Amino acid sequence: MPHPLAGKPVPKSELIDIPALVSAYYELKPDPSKESERVSFGTSGHRGSSLKKSFNETHVMAISQAVCDFRKSRGITGPLFMGIDTHALSVPAQMSAIRVLAANGIDLRIAKNGEYTPTPLVSFAILEQNGRNGKSADGIVITPSHNPPEDGGFKYNPPNGGPAETDITADIQKRANRIIENGMRGVKIVDYEDAVRSPFVKEYDFITPYVEALADIVDMGTIKRSGLKLAADPMGGSAIGVYKKINEIYGLDMDIINPYVDSTFSFMTLDHDGKIRMDCSSPWAMASLVRLRESYDLAFGNDTDSDRHGIVTPEGGLMNPNHYLCVAIWYLFKHRKWPQHLKIGKTLVSNSMIDRIAVSLKREVYEVPVGFKWFADGLFEGWLGFGGEESAGASFLRFDSTVWTTDKDGIILNLLAAEIKAVTGRDPAEIYADFENEFGRAYYKRIDAPATQELKNRLKKLDGKELRLTELGGDEIERIYTTAPGNGAAIGGVKIVTENGWVAMRPSGTEDIYKIYAESFRSKEHLEELLEAAGRIVSSLSAEK
């Protein structure tokens, strides 16, 4: 059941104490003997809170030095592009990272005038730089994405522009933890003032080149001519400046909701569990924008680093992220003159409607574990036309089928929804209804629940043979996955498939929760049966000594 305050404005009593949070960032030191206080890269970087001693200056400096060591080991000599979001710990973390990166002589690019920088703009800048010369550029994004205001995060993007693969993050994680264990010996540091005055730190305009190039991937002219009344809600995040520049360059009729930075995020509505979370795929977190839906032809939101999207239609409200992925895939492969060999990338917890649409399009599906890093090479090398996650993250190729970004880009997915409406005259929710009429209705749900570190580890390392199951939800089990069919990579959990549905259980890589995903091809009642069965499986793991 949702929290009693889910979808309601944040009570003042729930707002974080920013001075205390920032003080803890500098004053509290992690104990490397405690797993919860070590550097740990999940599906999208290292995240934590200074108040829990899981994200502070020690972590950031150690990770930054580890990145410098990694670059040296791989011969990466080009500029490093760094972006930050609007969480309270992001600016302190950037200052710490700059001190280390400059001391190591890294050619660093930071946003001009202290602007915030969305994740996709960092990916875009890396790829544009690497396309112009032989030096290999890479990047850092300081963000915990949609996580609560007290969290901080640190992501590394290698020269392919996407989230770092597991072997890279494992290397950086190992190096960083060793540095902390050794009392920070080996970390090069200079004073912040000396760093920013050094020849190594240069300001860079991330926003203008990205916005000017949007016409290469979205039909901005048709959106403009359509006269659609649009609303964009950056959720007080790093896309505020991007949407302002879009209006300036393309002249859209687009209102910007919450166009200011407030690191307490006091304007938010509470998420399903009563926490402040800038999750644009959550109907509770997006409640304020959903209430405005009838005032616009289409509205959309982003999380704080803008790698996720949320589409709001006048009649249907906030779209299920899986439903919009289906529409985006169908539209792009129908309306772009892309080569026939391009594949559709999906995570194995995304809905199966995608597979049915892919069959109708005569396109191959590339199914991978959770984590956008699994799509980066396919987009970079040009054999994936689209890569998307059920958690509302996706990117796709330009009109000419060349790479745009290799990290999630919530901005282009939002603008694509406007293009779809402008070109077809129908919003994405109306189009998805047609899919249900053609391919049948699927019932999908995801549940998040608290998890201890022990349970998360147990789930992550689970062997499907241990379950000894023969049926699920009244049907015979056809297959149990612990690796993804597309690339054979470990899924960090388990997926159980029957003829009429499936469930998947996996731990979150960024929060103290686990996730159950389920889809039924029968009914809502059958969906609940699947969820209950999955819950019993997890409970049995918790009960094990």
Which residues are identified as catalytic?
Answer: 145
The Cα–Cα gap between 185 and 460 comes to 33
DSSP letter, residue 43: B
The phi and psi torsions of 234 (rounded to 5 degrees) equal -75, 5
Q: In whole angstroms, give the CA distance from residue 538 to residue 467.
A: 10
Residue 338 neighbours by CB distance under 10 Å: 19
Q: Which helix (H) or strand (E) holds 98?
A: helix 90-103
Q: Which 8-state DSSP code applies to residue 112?
A: G
C-alpha to C-alpha distances, 345 to 85, 98, 222, 348, 373, nearest whole angstrom:
27, 35, 27, 10, 11
Q: Which amino acid is it at 256?
A: I
> 447: burial class by Cβ within 10 Å (0-12, 13-18, 19+)?
middle
Residue 441 CB contacts under 8 Å (≥ 6 apart), including other chains = none
Locate tokens 């797993």: which residue?
A: 35
Query: 209: closest CA among 379, 77, 405?
Result: 405
Q: With the C-alpha atoms ordered 394, 166, 479, 362, is the resulting torsion angle positive or negative?
A: positive
175-to-56, 156, 160, 358 alpha-carbon distances in Å: 17, 14, 22, 42
User: Exposure of 74 by Cβ count < 10 A (0-12 exposed, 13-18 middle, 19+ buried)?
Assistant: middle
The two three-digit tokens of residue 61, written as one number: 């400096």
